[in-house]
Chain A
Amino acid sequence: MEIRKVAVIGAGVMGAGIAAHVSNAGIPVVLLDIVPEAAGNRNAIAEGAVQKMLKAQPAPFMHKRNARLVTTGNIEDNLDLLADCDWIIEAVIEKLDIKQALYEKIDAVRKPGSVVSSNTSTIPLRDLVDGMPQAFAADFIITHFFNPPRYMRLLEVTTGDRTRPEAASVIADFCDRSLGKGVVHCKDTPGFIANRIGIFWIQVAILEAMQLGLSVEEADAVMGKPLGIPKTGVFGLSDLVGIDLMPHLMESMQRTLPKEDPFLEKSTIPELVSRMIAEGYTGRKGKGGFYRINRTEGRKVKESIDLVTGEYSPSGKASLESLDASRLGGLPALVMHPDRGGQYARRVLAQVLGYAASLVPEIADDIVAVDQAMKLGYAWKFGPFELIDKLGAENFVQLLEEQGIKVPGLLEKAAGQSFYRTQEGRLQYLDIQGRYQDVLRPEGVLLLSDIKRSTEPLAQNGSAALWDIGDGVVCLEYTSKMNAMDPDILALMREAVDIVKRGYKALVLHNEGENYSVGANLGLLLFAANIGTWDQIEEMVEAGQESYRALKYAPFPVVGAPSGMALGGGCETLLHCDAIQAHAETYIGLVEVGVGLVPGWGGCKEMLQRWISNKRRPGGPMPAVIKCFETISTATVAKSAAEAKDSLFFRADDGISMNRDRLLADAKARALALAEDYQPPEPIEISLPGPTAKAAMKMAVDGVRLAGKATRHDVVVSMRLAELLSGGDTDITEMLSEEDLLRLEREAFMDLVRNPDTLDRMEHMLETGKPLRN
């Protein structure tokens, strides 16, 4: 069965978000909610939800036009809309009777074989289908999305005894391929996997911090980076998700968990937390939480709560010897340290990881599911079992014994070995019988990390590596910090061209970093500028231009496969590719003006070429130049791969993969398709309007300046960009070659990089992560 149409019932935050995300996959979706009391518009709730989502940030829609795929309605008048839906998702209030009443209505109209799922996080599946007909129960599953549905990759899927296997597999496959989710199969137990462990972790981490007398900054610093957990740690995370959620979650856990579950001993809400909720300190959505921003006296001061007194005072940087130790010695050094940070890590890890180890196979069939759930649902870099491996299973057993915690059976099996190992290049995990099994990837998933485990790179330096990914395709991976482009990457790029030319069919640019590339190595550039090595900077600009050009004109196809941010110099690599296969969550843009520069690695050249040859926008070079100017001078960043096509960062026929894990395989297929009868592109030859266009852009800039929206240096940078994009001292009768355009870029770049205001911008960006408005 194929999923061609979907319905979501319940247009709250979750339901509406799920509907939006289904539309992101290009699938029509019906969104229904109840008829509000005394309302003229009977669809007001669902319609309002869509309107609200069109304005929300981060945006639930990958492109505004996707909203048109959402049909809104209400459950009294529009149930007939469900008749042709292949999948109906229930996301209404967590009340069993309401849900079941709804199911009866759904069952009356849905087509046979359609799948019904609930997004519940607190009601067991067996209760939901209790008393429902067999035909319904056979088609019923739980699909537990995480908030926000577009961005959180975890989807927990639970089936019941009566569910027919295909109902789950069809939805899992759809969610994997079309919605890009990491699907994890869970047992029908409270909180499934991620929240069962995650909420226990939050609760234990809060209680232990209070008991050991840590400040919230200290607790978050220990719970964050050293453990591979986002730097919000535990208190920052609570502020983010809402502190008032805690009592609800606790109450539901208390109601549904077996009486002997260790969770229950830890489920008391601390008095301070109750008081905070009562006073409206529910986190970022309220008056503040464990942290708050104090805006008195016209200044913004970040403050933290004192866990003993409940008073706020300005936040400080956590300074603990154990944290210093962890920077060098990693997690083991932190856990071994005698100070309160080390003690805290020991107590929390022993309880949480020990708890996780005790839950397999109760909540999941294997440890891989548990690790996946925590990584995708809580953004942990390492799952609980991977963390245990980092500490050493043997040491961890000892730690549990020290803390007086019962050692789970699974852990006893792991003693003397590890939960994961690499065997003949294959990743294996320990199953519940204590035997190693291969970690299997779904069909069509190709991970660079798996390839790296089993082969040696074709070439490698400090910032990049080249991998044979099979079938004659080579992958260029960046390995520098933040995948920033630097001379080493450029060098390996040129080497890649030689290597592929000699014995391969195609090249793919891809990596598994959080971001494809955040741009050129700004620190290196700033340092070089500070010591006035202008000739070396110019050489670096030229080297980038040459390397990217070599990719473009190589006698084989090059496919860019980005995910996450692709900014500045990273964006420019993609502009030189023959085709793009992008992860849907790709954020691309030429943001150089933010640091007082212009794109200098062929970005302006490629954008000009794209807009000038854009068939949908005729009218010669002038509108094209203006369009490029608008895009680059405002540092426009597309908020999705779909949006990137609007600004021509991607071409109309470039591919989009919803699932990140499938990106490399898709890109490889694309590259192989292009490799048949491949011809490199023709060199660019365009004409530009010259000073007349510059004058037009100057008027625009002056207008923005007068409106108070451009700073002094904005004007300088914009005008230098305008001169470059208009072709410098040229006119429409003159043909400009690729070399001419690159020279114009270089000249503008070198002018600006010598400007002290530009250097101030770069320094500010590096030190604060924010643009300087000078």
Chain B
Amino acid sequence: MANYTTPLRDMRFVYNELLDAEAIRALPGCEEVTPDLVDAILEEAGRFCEERLFPLNRSGDEEGCHFEDGRVTTPAGLKEAYRDFNEMGWGALAADPEYGGQGLPNVISMMVEEIMCSTNFAFGLYPGLTHGAYNALVARASEELKQAYLPNMVSGQWSGSMCLTEPQCGTDLGLIRTRAEPQADGSYRLTGSKMFITAGEHDLSENIIHLVLARTPDAPKGIKGISLFLVPKIAVNDDGSLGEPNGVSCGSIEHKMGINASATCVINFDQARGFLVGRLNKGMEAMFIMMNTERLAVGIQGLGIGEASYQGAVAYARERLQGRALGGAKSPDKPADSLLVHPDVRRMLLTQRAYVEGNRALAAWVASELDHSKRNPDPRRRQEAEDFVALMTPIVKAFMTDTGSEVANLGVQVFGGHGYIREHGMEQYIRDARIAQIYEGTNGIQAMDLVGRKMPAHMGRYLRRFFHPVRDYLESKENDFTLHAFLLPLAKAFGRLQKATAHLAQRGLKNPDEMGASATDYLRLFALVALGYLWMRMADIGQQKREQDPIFYQAKVDTARFYFEKILPQSSALFASIMAGSRSMMKFNDEAF
């Protein structure tokens, strides 16, 4: 059976020992975020998710959502779980206290999100979408809209959705057709059809607040003519009570590979009353504010699934007795040795572990910088943090979801045939994880965002926020012989990343295909170096604190060593591939495909 225990020890390590927890506590509004409070929150969240969400994970997957007469019913148990989830305030962690939120830093709420994704990814999407819509509204909506909608969204009484995709446009949102006709009272009437709308219709909340991209009749063509609208499923009266249905209906739900407990809907708008969010024709900008947080959140989905899969695989490998160790039996008293004795199984488990723990550190680093970018009183520090988040967002999204899938795959492999059948829940992780590589901008798009936008921005200023800390760290450890096993390989990999970066920046100016062809490899190289940096720092801490908790810290050092010896060398192959350029793919005859 799949099993899950919240990795509290590792989360505490990341938050208190790897990150600068004091610097986060020093941020305005975070004064009360003490280690004790963080512990308590994570423990409580872990308990709720383990007890209430995890048991619904497989049943929800088996049962799926139901669609009848335009109504969507979620699988058994979700409704109650959703109610309790909100009653306990889990949906309001990072929201502004002004709207009933708890105002906690993102770095905490993202750890809670990880727990949710590990225990019930599909469930997590419902509050997740609400949170995304919340972020866009906080950043761009008028005060009036905020007051009218945000408190109920924060409490979970109302949920949110994001309506972007239409049948003819996914990645290329410039092709959007949904129309918004201005009305005399300043509102708009929206008409059009949206698809792939996660949480677009369901029975968990009493109202659903859709954020819809649409164009007004005289809007400019393409992406510059898109505006963002708030469209409630049920009209909200001036006194805040619910009124009549608002011309929003669900046309059907999709039958999918995974996340079956999450309703993925076709949503039709028929003269639905909506309100402009932000400025006319600036919808993409407003959407991007939300998308950036969403992309980090999607990266965390990959992390959450990976953690769950790893835990399942470890438990199984420990218990399952098959074959004998190559060098002679380890448990001669038993009919066979455990799977753990086999080098290839250990390779798989350590690969999972190195990615999962590395990704957790990466996510926390980026999330804490997100907090600095929003709360730090020093404008320069804020700018630096904002640059860093902008740079790392595509990396977190793409790398953490790619490795999420890889880790889930390894989990099934460890189980062998028992992983392939449904009974143990391991194959569900693969199916669930797969979507995270696709939505919120496919991972190919993320790679293009990294090389095409983030890399050249301000002549490489975003890059500085990563390259300088790593360079400085390497320089600071030059004479620390205890770390040389990490220092040299990381310095080499970092050098490759520097070279590849300079190379792409120059080549890309002359031929954009060069950038496009290497983007995915480059993103992966970047991420491997980022994880390498974090693993070296974790090993550093592990070596220093080994005596305090030998098993935990030694495991940190040893996982780091595995990462450096077995995973980081991929940077060399990626570098070679990047330097080889685009010829082999772009010269290939189209007809021959």
Task: Please list the residues of chain A having a beta carbon within 8 angstroms of any beta carbon in chain B.
Answer: 523, 526-534, 536, 759, 762-763, 766-767
CB pair B502 A533 closer than 8 Å: yes
B468 within 8 A of A: yes
CB distance from B493 to the nearest CB of A (A): 14
B464 within 8 A of A: yes
CB pair B502 A766 closer than 8 Å: no
CB pair B467 A531 closer than 8 Å: yes
- In the complex, 25 of the A-B residue pairs with CB atoms within 8 angstroms, ordered by the A residue number, are A523-B459, A526-B459, A527-B459, A527-B505, A528-B502, A529-B464, A530-B460, A530-B464, A530-B468, A531-B460, A531-B463, A531-B464, A531-B467, A531-B498, A531-B502, A532-B471, A532-B498, A533-B502, A534-B471, A759-B461, A759-B464, A762-B459, A763-B459, A763-B461, A767-B458
User: What residues of chain A lie closer than 8 Å to B376, measured between beta carbons?
Assistant: none
CB pair B498 A766 closer than 8 Å: no
CB distance from A568 to the nearest CB of B (A): 17
Bound: A528/B463 CA distance, A = 10
Bound: A759/B380 CA distance, A = 13
CB distance from B174 to the nearest CB of A (A): 14
Bound: A25/B498 CA distance, A = 53
User: What residues of chain A lie closer than 8 Å to B498, measured between beta carbons?
Assistant: 531-533
Per CB-CB distance, the 5 closest pairs between chain A and chain B, nearest first, are: A530-B460, A532-B471, A530-B464, A527-B460, A532-B467
User: What residues of chain B lie closer than 8 Å to A531, measured between beta carbons?
Assistant: 460, 463-464, 467, 498, 501-502
CB pair B502 A530 closer than 8 Å: no
Tally of A-B Cβ pairs under 8 angstroms: 42
Partner of B460, one of A526, A534, A536, A767: A526
CB distance from A525 to the nearest CB of B (A): 9
CB distance from A327 to the nearest CB of B (A): 14
The residue on B at minimum CB distance from A525 is B459
CB distance from A120 to the nearest CB of B (A): 51
User: What residues of chain B lie closer than 8 Å to A762, measured between beta carbons?
Assistant: 459
User: What residues of chain A lie closer than 8 Å to B464, measured between beta carbons?
Assistant: 529-532, 759
> B459, B468, B505: which has the most chain A beta carbons within 10 Å?
B459
CB distance from A741 to the nearest CB of B (A): 27
The residue on B at minimum CB distance from A759 is B464
CB pair B458 A763 closer than 8 Å: yes
Complex interface bits, B430-471 against A, C-beta within 8 A gives 1, otherwise 0: 000000000000000000000000000011110110011011
Bound: A530/B391 CA distance, A = 13
User: What residues of chain B lie closer than 8 Å to A763, measured between beta carbons?
Assistant: 458-459, 461
Give 13 new A-B contacts, CB below 8 A, not counting A527-B459, A530-B467, A532-B471.
Answer: A523-B459, A527-B460, A530-B460, A530-B463, A530-B464, A530-B468, A532-B467, A532-B468, A533-B498, A534-B471, A536-B502, A759-B464, A763-B461
User: What residues of chain B lie closer than 8 Å to A533, measured between beta carbons?
Assistant: 498, 502
CB distance from A551 to the nearest CB of B (A): 26
Bound: A407/B458 CA distance, A = 50
Bound: A527/B508 CA distance, A = 14
Task: Please list the residues of chain B having a beta carbon within 8 angstroms of any beta carbon in chain A.
Answer: 458-461, 463-464, 467-468, 470-471, 498, 501-502, 505
CB distance from B483 to the nearest CB of A (A): 19
Bound: A536/B470 CA distance, A = 17
User: What residues of chain B lie closer than 8 Å to A530, measured between beta carbons?
Assistant: 459-461, 463-464, 467-468
Bound: A766/B457 CA distance, A = 12
CB pair A527 B471 closer than 8 Å: no
CB pair B467 A527 closer than 8 Å: no
Bound: A37/B522 CA distance, A = 79
The residue on A at minimum CB distance from B464 is A530
CB distance from A213 to the nearest CB of B (A): 16
The residue on B at minimum CB distance from A530 is B460
CB pair B502 A527 closer than 8 Å: yes
Bound: A574/B460 CA distance, A = 31
User: What residues of chain A lie closer than 8 Å to B463, measured between beta carbons?
Assistant: 530-531
Bound: A536/B502 CA distance, A = 11
User: What residues of chain A lie closer than 8 Å to B459, measured between beta carbons?
Assistant: 523, 526-527, 530, 762-763, 766-767
> A529, A531, A534, A759: which has the most chain B beta carbons within 10 Å?
A531
CB distance from A649 to the nearest CB of B (A): 29
Bound: A759/B467 CA distance, A = 14
User: What residues of chain B lie closer than 8 Å to A759, measured between beta carbons?
Assistant: 461, 464
User: What residues of chain B lie closer than 8 Å to A526, measured between beta carbons?
Assistant: 459-460
CB distance from A482 to the nearest CB of B (A): 15
CB distance from B465 to the nearest CB of A (A): 9
The residue on A at minimum CB distance from B505 is A527
Bound: A766/B463 CA distance, A = 17
CB distance from A289 to the nearest CB of B (A): 29
CB distance from B494 to the nearest CB of A (A): 9
User: What residues of chain B lie closer than 8 Å to A534, measured between beta carbons?
Assistant: 471
Bound: A762/B461 CA distance, A = 11
Bound: A534/B460 CA distance, A = 15
Bound: A766/B461 CA distance, A = 12
Bound: A759/B458 CA distance, A = 11
The residue on A at minimum CB distance from B472 is A532
CB distance from B185 to the nearest CB of A (A): 27
Bound: A529/B458 CA distance, A = 12
User: What residues of chain B lie closer than 8 Å to A767, measured between beta carbons?
Assistant: 458-459
User: What residues of chain A lie closer than 8 Å to B505, measured between beta carbons?
Assistant: 527
Bound: A529/B471 CA distance, A = 11
User: What residues of chain B lie closer than 8 Å to A532, measured between beta carbons?
Assistant: 464, 467-468, 470-471, 498
The residue on A at minimum CB distance from B221 is A321
User: What residues of chain B lie closer than 8 Å to A528, measured between beta carbons?
Assistant: 502
User: What residues of chain A lie closer than 8 Å to B501, measured between beta carbons?
Assistant: 531
User: What residues of chain B lie closer than 8 Å to A536, measured between beta carbons?
Assistant: 502
CB distance from B522 to the nearest CB of A (A): 13
Bound: A536/B459 CA distance, A = 17
Bound: A527/B463 CA distance, A = 9
Bound: A360/B471 CA distance, A = 67
CB distance from B511 to the nearest CB of A (A): 13
The residue on A at minimum CB distance from B465 is A530
The residue on A at minimum CB distance from B460 is A530
The residue on B at minimum CB distance from A523 is B459
Bound: A16/B131 CA distance, A = 71
CB distance from A96 to the nearest CB of B (A): 56
Bound: A763/B505 CA distance, A = 16
Bound: A111/B399 CA distance, A = 88
Bound: A530/B501 CA distance, A = 11
Bound: A528/B468 CA distance, A = 11
CB distance from A314 to the nearest CB of B (A): 15
User: What residues of chain A lie closer than 8 Å to B460, measured between beta carbons?
Assistant: 526-527, 530-531
Bound: A620/B270 CA distance, A = 88
Bound: A759/B502 CA distance, A = 17
CB distance from B290 to the nearest CB of A (A): 26
CB distance from B474 to the nearest CB of A (A): 9
> A530, A536, A759, A763: which has the most chain B beta carbons within 10 Å?
A530
Bound: A533/B464 CA distance, A = 11
Bound: A527/B458 CA distance, A = 9
Bound: A763/B460 CA distance, A = 9
Bound: A762/B470 CA distance, A = 22
The residue on A at minimum CB distance from B494 is A532
Bound: A247/B502 CA distance, A = 56
User: What residues of chain A lie closer than 8 Å to B502, measured between beta carbons?
Assistant: 527-528, 531, 533, 536
CB distance from B9 to the nearest CB of A (A): 34
CB distance from B19 to the nearest CB of A (A): 22
User: What residues of chain A lie closer than 8 Å to B458, measured between beta carbons?
Assistant: 763, 767
Bound: A629/B69 CA distance, A = 83
CB distance from A391 to the nearest CB of B (A): 28
User: What residues of chain A lie closer than 8 Å to B461, measured between beta carbons?
Assistant: 530, 759, 763
Bound: A534/B475 CA distance, A = 12
User: What residues of chain B lie closer than 8 Å to A523, measured between beta carbons?
Assistant: 459
The residue on A at minimum CB distance from B456 is A527
The residue on A at minimum CB distance from B495 is A533
The residue on B at minimum CB distance from A528 is B502
Bound: A531/B501 CA distance, A = 8
CB distance from B492 to the nearest CB of A (A): 14
CB distance from B477 to the nearest CB of A (A): 15
Bound: A759/B460 CA distance, A = 11
CB distance from B167 to the nearest CB of A (A): 27
